[in-house]
């Protein structure tokens, strides 16, 4: 995949993460779970970042083994096809415990490919 497309995918992931963080900032699990529109919006952003992650080259994701890339990619399918099996608590755990690490890894990946394009 050309660098421009990879960059676009990484930027899509970062934008989705930023939106999720903005929408849930300062919230509690109970406030999040009580707002069906918010939950739906957050799930949609997760679908977008999941889909974008599916198109990242394995050579790039392999450099960040701290991220469970298969799980990130699979999350979109779960939200689309097994949505009734996703609890608000489980998604909240992803937001609070795993999204910061994903943001950091994707930002590092973006820096890596930007460094390659300026060489």
Indicate if the pLDDT at residue 1 is higher than 60. no
The CA-based dihedral angle spanning residues 92, 97, 101, 103, taken in that order and rounded to the nearest 10 degrees: 30
Structure pTM?
Answer: 0.91
Mean pLDDT for all residues in the chain: 94
Where do the structural domains in the chain lie, given as residue ranges?
3-117
Q: Which residue intervals of the chain are DSSP H helices?
A: 3-24, 29-33, 36-53, 58-61, 69-81, 88-93, 99-117
When pLDDT is cut at 50, 70 and 90, the band that residue 119 belongs to is very low
pLDDT tens per residue, range 40-79: 999 999 999 999 999 999 999 999 999 999 999 999 999 9
- Of 76-80, 82-86, 90-94, 105-109, the one with minimum mean pLDDT is 82-86
- For the chain, report the end-to-end CA distance as a whole number of angstroms: 18
Indicate the length of the chain as a whole number: 119
């Amino acid at each position: 995949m050309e660098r421009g497309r990879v960059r676009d995918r990484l930027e899509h992931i970062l934008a989705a993460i930023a939106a999720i963080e903005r929408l849930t900032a300062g919230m509690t699990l109970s406030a999040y779970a009580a707002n069906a529109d918010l939950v739906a919006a957050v799930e949609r952003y997760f679908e977008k970042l999941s889909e974008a992650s599916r198109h990242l080259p394995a050579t790039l994701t392999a450099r960040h083994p701290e991220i469970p890339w298969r799980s990130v990619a699979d999350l979109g399918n779960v939200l689309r096809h097994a949505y009734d099996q996703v609890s608000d608590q489980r998604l909240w755990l992803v937001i609070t415990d795993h999204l910061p690490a994903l943001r950091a890894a994707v930002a590092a990946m973006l820096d890596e490919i930007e460094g390659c394009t300026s060489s």
